[in-house]
Chains A and B, each alone.
Chain A
Amino acid sequence: MNGDSINAELHTLTGAYALNALSDLESRAFEVHLAQCASCAREVAELGETAARLGSAVQAQPPPQLRDRVLAVAFQTRQLPPEVTPMAQTGTGWGHWARRAGALAAAAGVLVAVGIGAHGVQGGRHLEREVDALRQVTAEQDRFADLLAAPDVKLVHGEVSGGGTGTAVVSPSRGAALFLARGLAELPEDRTYQLWVIGRGGPRSAGLLGPAADPRPLLAQGVTAADRIGLTVEPRGGSAKPTTDAVVVLPLA
């Protein structure tokens, strides 16, 4: 069920990140953390530079046709304009990490659901609705960012039986855990994934995950290190108590 759950202190991931040795999901979570942690961002930049020295020590002789192909394709490719938006206000010069802070929410499909930009200019009412939705997303992201910036934040993840992985970003000091899932098996129409906080008093619901193809991140609050979180398959609309065995259980300690 949770055979190989792992437990990782985000702060020590600078080396693994600089080596591109994190999974996609962990990378994104770590990038959000970097936006809040100037010393981590500085260290990542330095270690990235060091890792690149390993790269510059390896050479190969490119075939001449490669040069022709690259030039031909490049010169038919439109170049990106420079970014003109001011750096985000981090006060440290590491604004580029802050700009990537949305990656976590975007990855989880939140921004995608809002669809700002994708639809271009909208009528007034639509626009208002989208701005409202964006405000909610921003508030949610602030809570995510607050959690990810906690000094004791760590990652726990495990395989979901039936397919996919579940990852929890946990901070005992904030009493919060953010649950992210990916690659989950599709469920029949009348079933849904439901998240539970399993404490001494038994399980309590932490919300429904949404469609398996596009699960939303769920923030469970009021959790302690002694709790676990678990995911079950429930009838559509969710249950008051779990009615099936968990497909994954993650310890928060």
Chain B
Amino acid sequence: MPERERSLRGVSSGVNEGDAPPVPAEELLDRVARGDENAFELLYDRVAGTVLGLVRRVVRDHAQSEEVTQEVLVEVWRTASRFDPRRGSASTWVLMLAHRRAVDRVRSAQAAAQRDQRAADLGVVTPFDEVSEQVAGRLERRQVRQCLSTLTEVQRESVLLAYYQGYTYPEVASLLTIPLGTVKTRMRDGLIRLRDCLGGTR
């Protein structure tokens, strides 16, 4: 009986927690900007998994990915006052920081040399399948996956090679053996199609 009571209490407290609407990340970031360490811990728990997931997707190496993730999150703490909610959501802001840092890391001259070699060794990969294996946020994954399938193959590959592999558009063009002008427009058209599709599913 006591056993049962305990487990019921456990369940109900879990439910109560779920009932209370979580503090929006924007509000947490606002408190972080004012030096609120507790808010930063909450924000960390909210975004660290996504930041590490994205950074690892681009950087691959686990130790380096953790380094970059640490840099990104410390940067979030340091520059929280520069977040402007009129320009987009807090999670977008954090993910943009993360993506830029991850891309910077892989574009060091040395990394570029290794990457070229790797690309040459692997030939053209099908990034969509590879990505879908690693994609984990269930709902987000389903929507993104569904919307990615509305892109043409070249649009999808251009967008995914750039975003998840950190390739520049000339690198993507050479990997897909399509002209530079084409890859630019495919990236733009692909993102626009993705934007319109995701906008409709959110």
Which residues of chain A have a CB within 8 Å of any CB of chain B? 4, 6-9, 12-16, 18-23, 45-63, 66-67, 69-71, 73-75, 77-83, 93, 96
Contacts and interface: CB of A to CB of B under 8 A. Distances in A.
Most B-side CB within 10 Å, residue of A23, A66, A83: A66
Contacts, number: 197
Given A14-B188, A20-B100, A54 B163 contact: yes
B33 A74 contact: no
Interface string B92-116: 1001101110010000000000000
B92 A71 contact: no
B69 A50 contact: no
B141 A12 contact: no
Contact of B191 (A50, A63, A83): A50
A47 B78 contact: no
A70 B82 contact: no
B113 to A, nearest CB: 15
A20 B136 CA distance: 23
Contact of A19 (B78, B163, B170, B185): B163
Contact of A96 (B37, B49, B56, B84): B84
B100 to A, nearest CB: 6
Chain B, interface size: which category? 35 or more
A46 B144 CA distance: 16
Contacts of A83: 81-82
Nearest to A41: B87
Nearest to A46: B195
A45 B86 CA distance: 11
A78 B66 CA distance: 22
A77 B66 contact: no
Contacts of B54: 55-56, 58
Most A-side CB within 10 Å, residue of B56, B95, B100, B190: B95
Contacts of B169: 16, 21-22
B50 A50 contact: no
A51 B136 contact: no
A56 B48 contact: no
A34 to B, nearest CB: 13
Nearest to B155: A15
Interface string B53-81: 11011000000001001100110011111
A55 to B, nearest CB: 4
B188 A67 contact: no
B85 interface: no
A59 to B, nearest CB: 4
